[in-house]
Amino acid sequence: MSGPRRHLPRGLALALAVAVAAPALVLGQAGGRTVWSGVYTEAQAARGADAYASRCHGAQLQGVGAALGPTAARAETPGSPVAGTDPNVWPNPYAPDPGFLKLPAARTMGSTSGVAVDSRGHIWVADRCGANSCADSPLDPILEFDAHGTFLKAFGHGLFVFPHGLYVDAQDHVWVTDAQSRPGQGAQVIKFDRDGRVLLTLGKAGVSVAGPDTFAEPNAVAVAQDGTIYVADGHTEHRDPARIVKLDPQGRFILQWGVRGSVPGELEVPHALALDRRGRVFVADRWNNRVQIFDPGGKLLAVWSQFGRPSGLYIDRTDTLYVTDSESRRPEGYGHHPGWKRGVRIGDARTGQVRAFIPDDDPDPDSNATSGGEGIWVSGDGAVYVAEVGQKAVIRYVRTK
């Protein structure tokens, strides 16, 4: 090669590596910031700058659905929004059934971001004790309803400060994360059997630290078919950590990936997790308004922005991807994502094609930091359950066409 050479900034070097050479992305496995460096010709620099602006982040650094890595068939994901298109016009084949879950007398639903359905069709909810916190509450936050929505039981009193993510594994074990802490309580992931007995505890109660055996703010947990555990850690924007932790079935640390940032592979508020049938790890990179997809070792495979500002993720057995957007709003500041409505976007986890949209029913979402569903799960009969922090409800949506 000939011509003058120059050093590029880290973000531009990354784009150049994707657009020109496409080597495997190497992500930090121990939480340290990855070093990207290189020396390039002027021609390569120009091509890399164009790729960074037009394919990875867009002119406003908000993402345009770039797909990265050798498995990507094209730079722009099918179904991603392009200039002049409306990301909110997908058909809505669902109708709400808001009164489906029947709470016991004298109890009202609090804020919740966790809902799941087990193999029997029973619905599990992580309720923040009738409010938005369980600190000092006498209530049990983990609620079980039968397949007809009738309340069965509750458990978990005294174990949680801020129950956040809820997951039911293949053996119907119930996993719940606690994204806040206080002395002697919180910042943990707890695994229960269906009777409420604690089977496994990850993290140390009240120790809010990002370590190999502790968590700062665990948002979500997902369990692979072989029992491997993934935890998303980091709920506060502009504050470390922002990482995915991988553990073995006994809860022993294997590796971690992710540092705070906005370039592909970096994270800012990894709010939810989902696993597809190939074992790929989908991460709701909420503050960056995108879903990022990794292999089980933390290698970045794709970056999708066409599903909005993701709070919750679910992938069903047909590889249909359900993504909740509970924060997009026009005003500058928190949740700024103009042009996007809140709701549930539904599409193909293999191709990224969006197919449907269930809109949030809040008449004035720009006035609230959150509304509509955060947590999401889909039952075997195709009903969609969303857990709402703002409206303090769990809504069931049934397919009408």
Let me know whether 128 and 187 are in one domain.
yes
Let me know whether 260 and 352 are in one domain. yes
pLDDT for the residue 128: 98
- Same domain assignment for residues 20 and 114: no
Does any domain span residue 65?
no
Nearest to 248 by CA among 219, 227, 222, 221: 227
Quote the CA–CA distance of 389 and 375 in Å, as a whole number: 9
With respect to residue 381, please indicate whether it lies within any of the assigned structural domains.
yes
| Residue 359 counted as domain residue | yes
Q: Is 165 within the bounds of a domain?
A: yes
Please check whether residue 79 lies inside any domain of the structure.
no
Q: What is the DSSP letter of 73?
A: S
Residues 256 and 142 both lie in one domain: yes
- Residue-range definition of the domain harbouring residue 363: 94-399
Residues 239 and 386 in one domain: yes
Considering the domain architecture, whether residues 196 and 294 belong to the same structural domain is answered as yes
Element (H, E) at 41: strand 39-41
Amino acid found at 248: D
**What are the φ and ψ backbone dihedral angles of 348, each rounded to 5 degrees?**
-100, 120
Residue 85 neighbours by CB under 8 Å, 6+ apart: none
Nearest to 346 by CA among 363, 370, 325: 325
Please report where in the chains the tokens 């020396």 appear, as a residue: 39
- 78 found inside a domain: no
Q: What is the side-by-side order of every strand in the sheet holding 384-388?
A: 94-97, 393-399, 384-388, 373-378
CA distance 12 to 266: 14
74's torsion region: left (phi>0), alpha (psi -120 to 50) or beta? beta
Give residue for tokens 């705070």: 260
Q: Are 106 and 184 part of one and the same domain?
A: yes
- Residue bearing tokens 């269906």: 194
Tell me the sheet residues that pair with 357.
345
Residue 288: give its domain's CATH number: 2.120.10.30
Same domain, 98 and 50: no
Residue 125 sits in the same domain as residue 255: yes
Q: In the chain, how many domains are there?
A: 2
Please report whether residue 182 resides in a domain: yes
Give CA 120 to chain center in angstroms.
25
Q: Is residue 273 part of a domain?
A: yes
Rounded distance, CA 313 to CA 349, Å?
11
My answer on whether 19 and 112 are in the same domain is no
Q: Are residues 105 and 49 in the same domain?
A: no
What tens-digit pLDDT sequence spans the chain (401 residues)?
434 434 444 444 444 333 333 333 333 333 333 322 233 334 444 434 443 333 333 333 333 333 443 333 333 454 555 445 799 999 999 999 989 999 999 899 999 999 999 999 999 999 999 999 999 999 999 999 999 999 999 999 999 999 999 999 999 999 999 999 999 999 999 999 999 999 999 999 999 999 999 999 999 999 999 999 999 999 999 999 999 999 999 999 999 999 999 999 999 999 999 999 999 999 999 999 999 999 999 999 999 999 999 999 999 999 999 999 999 999 999 999 999 999 999 999 999 999 999 999 999 999 999 999 999 999 999 999 999 999 999 999 999 98
Pair (223, 347) in one structural domain: yes
